[in-house]
């Protein structure tokens, strides 16, 4: 251990959403341990989220291999260092073979379902006051995001994609919602439409680009780094999206967030924070799961979620956050 520093090995999730939901622990440790130095282990999708973390020594991209050799590979990368703290949200055995003052390792609980933020907070005994998700963005990242936000007026951010068709609200309904919110007489009339997503989501853009004039359309689908999107989301007056990593990023950025749910458990995965809403159709998660027990059928479970229901939640959240976010243009 280098004199004057406190090295922390933080092993987080593969998926973006899970990584965001545990990110408050990093912010809490950075706040309480001024000399903390972080080595963060994350899956390929989530790893870029942590590149602006203060006190960062390294982000290790953790790629799974078929024979399980990924754990041995990781051990070889981190075994020579004496750690002050190892936080392992994967609950792996690797921490047993590392030299560290303290370990905080995820253990699966058989108790009542709790939100993933609370579940992560338990590792550091912070469940009574769980740290809110927080992704650090450096000044250069914030400046890069501002360069992409052309035009004037409040920004409606939409994330119409998801990692599974079952969780995907129909694209035409996103378009109808945007017209209601941004069109004449809408609560965000004259505002901008920002569409966010990864390179694989390029198909969603075509269905939405004609909702507003070209100078009010911001296309960030596969055209910006993940942290740049995170910084851009902090400028959104409202975010609406399927249950996804981008939804959790928006909430962590402080954007008023409406999360659209169907075949996922909002008790565990609702967007976190006071300026968030969960909306679903007529069926509960339990009812959907009874119809599709393994949640693997190639059918959409979001058809019973109407534009009216989502619009009502959006209008309500816009009204609730007018004082805090109304000038966020």
Tokens of 285: 């998660």
Q: Residue 50's pLDDT is what? A: 98
Give, for 144, the enclosing helix (H) or strand (E): helix 139-148
Look at residue 221 and give its three-state secondary structure: strand
Distance CA 217, CA 296 (A): 34
Q: Residue 329's pLDDT is what? A: 47
How far CA 177 is from CA of 23, 286, 308, 320, in Å, comes to: 31, 27, 8, 19
Is the Cβ–Cβ distance between 86 and 103 less than 8 Å?
A: yes
Q: Residue 2's pLDDT is what? A: 56
Instruction: State the pairing for strand pair 83-88/100-105.
Output: parallel
What domains are defined for the chain? 6-124 (3.40.50.2000), 140-325 (3.40.50.2000)
Give the torsion sign (CA, 117, 36, 48, 196).
positive
Ranges of the chain whose pLDDT falls below 50: 329
Distance CA 171, CA 193 (A): 14
Task: State pTM to two decimals.
Answer: 0.95
Q: Residue 328's pLDDT is what? A: 54
Is the Cβ–Cβ distance between 142 and 224 less than 8 Å?
A: no
């Amino acid at each position: 251990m280098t004199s004057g520093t406190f090295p922390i090995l933080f092993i987080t999730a593969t998926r973006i959403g899970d990584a965001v939901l545990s990110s408050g622990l990093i912010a809490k440790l950075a706040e309480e341990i001024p000399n903390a130095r972080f080595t963060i282990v994350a899956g390929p999708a989530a790893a870029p989220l942590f590149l602006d973390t203060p006190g960062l020594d390294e982000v290790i991209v953790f790629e799974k291999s078929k024979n399980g050799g990924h754990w041995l590979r990781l051990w070889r990368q981190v075994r020579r260092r004496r750690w002050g703290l190892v936080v392992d949200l994967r609950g792996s055995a690797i921490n047993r073979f590392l030299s560290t003052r303290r370990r905080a390792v995820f253990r699966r609980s058989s108790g009542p379902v709790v939100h993933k933020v609370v579940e992560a907070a338990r590792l550091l005994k912070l469940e009574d006051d769980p740290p809110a998700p927080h992704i650090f963005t450096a000044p250069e990242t914030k400046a890069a995001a501002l360069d992409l936000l052309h035009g004037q007026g409040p920004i409606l951010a939409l994330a119409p994609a998801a990692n599974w068709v079952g969780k995907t609200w129909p694209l035409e309904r996103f378009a109808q919602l945007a017209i209601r919110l941004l069109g004449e007489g809408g609560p965000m009339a004259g505002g901008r439409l920002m569409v966010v997503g990864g390179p694989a989501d390029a198909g969603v853009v075509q269905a939405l680009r004609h909702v507003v004039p070209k100078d009010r359309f911001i296309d960030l689908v596969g055209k910006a780094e993940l942290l740049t999107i995170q910084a851009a989301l902090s400028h959104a007056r409202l975010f609406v999206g399927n249950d996804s990593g981008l939804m959790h990023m928006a909430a962590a950025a402080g954007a008023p967030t409406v999360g659209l749910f169907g075949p996922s458990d909002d008790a565990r995965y609702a967007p976190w924070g006071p300026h968030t809403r969960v909306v679903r159709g007529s069926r509960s998660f339990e009812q959907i799961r009874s119809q599709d027990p393994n949640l693997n059928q190639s059918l959409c479970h979001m058809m019973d979620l109407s534009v009216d229901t989502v619009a009502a939640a959006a209008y309500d959240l816009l009204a609730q956050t007018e004082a805090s976010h109304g000038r966020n243009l």
